Chain A
Amino acid sequence: MDRRLLQDLEKLLGPRGVLHKSEDLLLYEYDGSVETARPDCVVFPRSMADVVGIVRLANSHQTPIVGRGAGTGLSGGAIARHGGIIVSFSRMNRVLEIDAENQRARVQPGVVNADLSLAVAHTGLHFAPDPSSQKACTIGGNVSENSGGPHTLAYGVTTNHVVALDVVLPTGELLHLGSSALDPVGYDLPGVFVGSEGTFGLVTEITVKLTRLPEAVKTLLGIFNSIDDATESVAEITARGITPAACEMMDGWTIRAVEDYIHAGFPLDCAAILLIDVDGLREVVDAEAEEVADVCRVHRARDVRVARDAHERDLLWKGRKNAFGAAGRLASSYYTQDGVIPRTKLPATLRRIGEISRKYNLQIGNVFHAGDGNLHPIILFDERNQQQFRDTVRAADEIIEFCIQSGGSITGEHGVGMEKDRLMPLLFSEDDLALMQRVRSAFNPAGLLNPGKIFPNSKGCGEIYVRPQSSAGAVPA
């Protein structure tokens, strides 16, 4: 890296604001995915002015810039694919304003997702998007990836909760997009910015909506002897017009892996469980819990349990949110997909995943947001076994192809990033992708910001598109 640039960055941020020794950079080669690439340096701004200064310096040296929150992303969004400067927002982590009456909070991008909900808990409000990594991931990262989570089934994903953004464009321009009051005049710029995977601008301030915590919550555990019975229950819950706050499914293999690790109380001999939250007014919760239990029983559930108290509820959810960690204890490596299918295709898709598992003789565990058709099959493999590694990649591709054939999508919440750029042409035409790139150039004209992401023709490294996730990998939503 250019010594002058490094000196200038140190002058701007102080010596503690810049990392550049190779042992210090090691950590920043990774995120929650399995992609790696080494940045030239990592900088730690403390203010919007710092960010502007960094961007101007990067510009004058034509050096790539990549924003980074906690590095829990699962598609390589925060990795410096072509080197350059990683801008870590870990020191811009203040909650700037809580306006409980108007249900708004203004935060810096490095605020940890769960910390915001903790900070506003005394007002009876929370920040609704709840990725499984919420104890580590940042709101800036959530904005970039348009993160979801189990409870987005009823509450919506990040984009539904962001009203305004302060951003620094890679040109050094400052923009305030949207407004704290709803319906700002003009195009919905926050709408197109959220989920742009760090390719439009660096976010320095975020205004979000806060959501009132429900009066009552019930968590149900439906236990099934067949996967089909579980998936058909999900379809019927939707068909009956019930929108649970969350509706998650785990198959038998995953349950056993989790139970061994977390001891959440899942039965070891079943084929599938459904973990369903219903929330709202007490009267709503009572009625919906009864109806959900009824649907499960109609579909031959072996047992339907209702968590007795908050402790039991938390334990069940801990089991669900640690499913990936549990998988990591059983195999040297695993790879997680993030496909989406229309909800009615759930039974057929799970049958197809079973076929693929048998075809390649691979263990595939299934954990997913059943209520909105967002699958997270976990494929276990041994990275030392070259054939098994290639089969894993093929199996993952076949699952995604089935999602697309079913009218679904290649990613529901993890993002495209470096992981799925080559799959984009399966969903989008050349014209679609060209237009998206033109839109990017309205924000990021020189392509200096987060290069090599989302678009297939932006690949420059010729590396294999995915190296499956190591067992130490992070936790998907």
Chain B
Amino acid sequence: MRTLDEYPALDLLESRGIPAAARELADSEEAAVAAAARIGYPVVFKISAPSALHKTEIGGVAVGIRDEAEARAAYRGILERAAAAGIVRMSGLRGVLVQEMVKGGVEFILGGYRDPGFGPVVMVGLGGIFTELLKEAAFRLAPVDEAEARRMVLETRARVLAGGFRGAPPLDLGPLCSAIAELSRMMSESEEIAEFDVNPFVLTPSGGRALDALFKYR
């Protein structure tokens, strides 16, 4: 099964008009430091390799990097731990993905797969710890339009946030609904996509952004 890990997967999303966090691939410590400066601190470093699908588990993620010194240390640390996990240049290591640190916002998980009976389906649920905690998600047969995507979101407990929870301003679901609709179109247009996760997709007052994604092909 061919997979698209984070780096190419986020590019794919952007090519379909789904916004993703600002990021640059850096193949050296110097490149990582320069990229972090361009994106603006604080940043996140994530190991980037087709085989590194569970980046956190191998210690391949550093968040809240505030300056150049932290960036250099984080880069070296990630590459050392990656090497310990067998991820080196020869096995496809690209380097480190330098990504803007998105603060606050509400995390969602978007997903899709092919069910033997239903064919292509899409889902949305609250992300982060809520995915495991609530075990709640709304499903639809792909494709869906933005209006149907909105009804999906409002079926989950995210409807509380949409109305403005505990004094927070109401959450604009528009970017999320557009992303769901576009992903559902991708799923139904291409027989090749077996499944995908966009996890998390973060909604902030300034819009929505995919922070990580994974596509698997048949």
A binds B: no
Q: Which residues of B contact A (CB under 8 A)?
A: none
Q: Which residues of A contact B (CB under 8 A)?
A: none
